[in-house]
Amino acid sequence: MSYSDKVLDHYSNPRNVGSLDKSSQDVGTGLVGAPECGDVMKLQIKVNPQTSVIEDAKFKTFGCGSAIASSSLATEWVKGKTVEEALQIKNTEIVKELSLPPVKIHCSVLAEDAIRAAIHDWKKKNNGVAQNVPATTEARQ
């Protein structure tokens, strides 16, 4: 299987690799894994408490090129978005942007899961409200 140019670009030149201070009140951390392939992905966001805008995002992924590219792209996309906007990112958009083949779709699912997990962590820290109540999310489709 050959990787698309965009995957190769993110893979050889990943954006936003690194970590943020996990204990900071403004930082949300998502750690997710895909048992299909054994990949593990950590994605962190730093959120402006006034505006809910994601001001910074970092990731560290151990896995295949597609998983690295998916999470690299995810950090690019969430930056500058509000938390609610970021929750609308779909794995299918990642698939399209990176031209992922069907066998690598789970990498994009993992990246979406990582975004959600990070936002969930941040919300839990800040509202003390777990987002498992459907009515609490504003933007829904």
Partner 1 sequence: MSRAGHWAAQPGASVVNVLMANPESKSSLIMPGEATSTCWSCGTMRAVHFCSACGKVQPPVPVNYFTFFALPRKLNLDTALLEREFYELSRKLHPDLYARADQQEQEWSMEQSSLLNDAYRTLKDPIKRTEYLLRLEGVELEEQSKTATEKARATGEVKKQVVPPDLLEEVFELNMQLEELRMQKKMGEDDPALIEELRKQKLKFEEKYEALFEELKGYWNQWDKLVDSGDEEARGKVRDQMLDLLNRRNYIRNLVRDVNEALEN
- Where on the chain is the footprint of partner 1 (CB under 8 A)? 31-38, 40, 42, 60, 62, 87-88, 90-91, 105-106, 109, 112-113, 116-117, 120, 130-134, 136-137, 140-141
Nearer to partner 1, 90 or 96 (CB): 90
> Which residue in the list 8, 17, 31, 37 is annotated as catalytic?
37
Cα–Cα dist 79/40, whole Å: 21
Nearest to 100 by CA among 115, 114, 84, 112: 112
Q: How far is the CB of 64 from partner 1 (least distance, A)?
A: 11
Cα–Cα dist 48/84, whole Å: 13
Nearer to partner 1, 55 or 62 (CB): 62
First to last CA, the chain: 35
Cα–Cα dist 141/139, whole Å: 7
Place of tokens 């590219």: 69
Q: How far is the CB of 98 from partner 1 (least distance, A)?
A: 16
Q: How far is the CB of 5 from partner 1 (least distance, A)?
A: 25
Identity of residue 129? V
Has 64 been annotated as catalytic? Answer: no
Place of tokens 């509202």: 127
Nearer to partner 1, 128 or 134 (CB): 134
Residues serving a catalytic function are 37, 107
